[in-house]
A and B are shown apart, each in its own frame.
Chain A
Amino acid sequence: MSLLTERQPADQLRPLRERNPNASRRNRRNLVATGMMALAVILALIPIVLIVVQVVIRGIGAMNWEFLTSTQIFSQRSEGGGYLNGLFGTLYMVLIASLVAVPLGIAAATFVVEYKDSRLAPYIQFFTDVMTGVPSIFIGLYIYALLVQGGIGFSIGFSTLAGGLALSLLMIPIVARTSEEVLRLVPDDLRNAGYGLGARRWQVVTQIVLPTARSGLITGSMLAIGRAAGETAPLLLTALGAFTIVPQLINAPQAALPLIIYNEARGPFEAAQARAWAGALELMLLVLVITIAARTLSGRSEMQH
Chain B
Amino acid sequence: MTATDQGQVPPQHVPLGRTRSSADKWFRRILALSGASVLIVLATMLISTGIDAWPVFRHEGLSFITGSTWDPGTSRTEITGEYGALAFIIGTLVTSGIALFIAVPLAVGTALYLTNVAGRRVRNPLTYAIELLAAVPSVVYGLWGLLFFVPVVLRPAMDFIAGTLGTFIPFLAAPVVTYNYFAAGVVLSIMVLPIITAVTREVMSKTPDSEIAAAYGLGATRWEMLKFIVLPRARPGIIGATMLGLGRALGETIAVAMLIGGSKQIPDSIFLGGQSMAGIIAITFQEAAPENVKALIGVGVLLFVITVIVNMIARGIVAATGGRVIGDASV
Task: Say if the beta carbon of A96 comes within 8 Å of chain B.
Answer: no
Chain B residues with CB under 8 Å of A230's CB are 135-140
State which of A1-9, A41-49, A70-78 sits at the interface with chain B.
A41-49
Q: A48-B133, A136-B251, A142-B45 are in contact. Are A40 and B105 (CB under 8 A)?
A: yes
Residue of A nearest to B149 (CB): A50
Task: Say if the beta carbon of B213 comes within 8 Å of chain A.
Answer: no
Residue contact B143 to A265, C-beta cutoff 8 Å: yes
How many Å from the CB of B211 to the closest CB on chain A? 18
Residue contact A45 to B137, C-beta cutoff 8 Å: no
Binary flags per residue of B290-331, CB closer than 8 Å to A gives 1, else 0: 000000110011011001101110110000000001101011
Among A34, A132, A284, the residue within 8 A (CB) of B136 is A284
A-B contact count (CB 8 A): 291
Residue contact A232 to B137, C-beta cutoff 8 Å: yes
State which of B160-168, B264-272, B277-285 sits at the interface with chain A.
B277-285
Residue contact B223 to A33, C-beta cutoff 8 Å: yes
Binary flags per residue of A76-94, CB closer than 8 Å to B gives 1, else 0: 0000000000000000000
Q: What's the tally of chain A residues with a CB closer than 8 Å to chain B?
A: 100
State which of B64-72, B82-90, B112-120 sits at the interface with chain A.
B112-120
Q: Which of A92-150 contact B (CB under 8 A)?
A: 103-104, 107-108, 110-112, 114-115, 118, 120-121, 123-124, 126-139, 141-142, 144-146, 149
Q: What's the tally of chain B residues with a CB closer than 8 Å to chain A?
A: 101
A sample of 13 inter-chain contacts (CB < 8 A) reads: A39-B109, A44-B106, A45-B130, A48-B129, A48-B132, A58-B148, A107-B30, A129-B311, A133-B244, A134-B45, A200-B23, A230-B136, A265-B147
State which of A60-68, A166-174, A242-250 sits at the interface with chain B.
A166-174
Task: Say if the beta carbon of A300 comes within 8 Å of chain B.
Answer: no
Chain B residues with CB under 8 Å of A128's CB are 38
Chain B residues with CB under 8 Å of A55's CB are 140, 144
Binary flags per residue of B137-163, CB closer than 8 Å to A gives 1, else 0: 111111110111100010000000000
A sample of 4 more A-B contacts (CB under 8 A), given A104-B37, A111-B28, is A44-B106, A126-B315, A232-B253, A262-B254
Residue contact B247 to A133, C-beta cutoff 8 Å: yes
Among B13, B138, B315, the residue within 8 A (CB) of A232 is B138
Interface residues of chain B, those whose CB is within 8 Å of chain A, are 1, 3-4, 7, 9, 13-14, 20, 23-24, 27-28, 30-32, 34-39, 41-42, 44-45, 48-49, 51-52, 105-110, 112-114, 117-118, 126, 129-130, 132-133, 135-144, 146-149, 153, 190, 193, 197, 221-224, 226-227, 244, 247-248, 250-254, 258, 278, 281-282, 285-286, 296-297, 300-301, 303-304, 307-308, 310-312, 314-315, 325-326, 328, 330-331
Residue contact A195 to B112, C-beta cutoff 8 Å: no
How many Å from the CB of B225 to the closest CB on chain A? 9
Centre residue among B23, B34, B310 by max chain A CB count within 10 A: B34
Interface residues of chain A, those whose CB is within 8 Å of chain B, are 26-27, 29-30, 33-34, 36-41, 43-45, 47-48, 50-51, 54-55, 58, 103-104, 107-108, 110-112, 114-115, 118, 120-121, 123-124, 126-139, 141-142, 144-146, 149, 151-152, 169, 172-174, 176-178, 181, 195-202, 205, 223-224, 226, 229-233, 236-237, 240, 258, 261-262, 265-266, 273, 276-277, 280, 283-284, 287-288, 291
Chain B residues with CB under 8 Å of A34's CB are 117, 222-223
Residue of A nearest to B258 (CB): A266
How many Å from the CB of A232 to the closest CB on chain B? 4
Residue contact A54 to B307, C-beta cutoff 8 Å: no
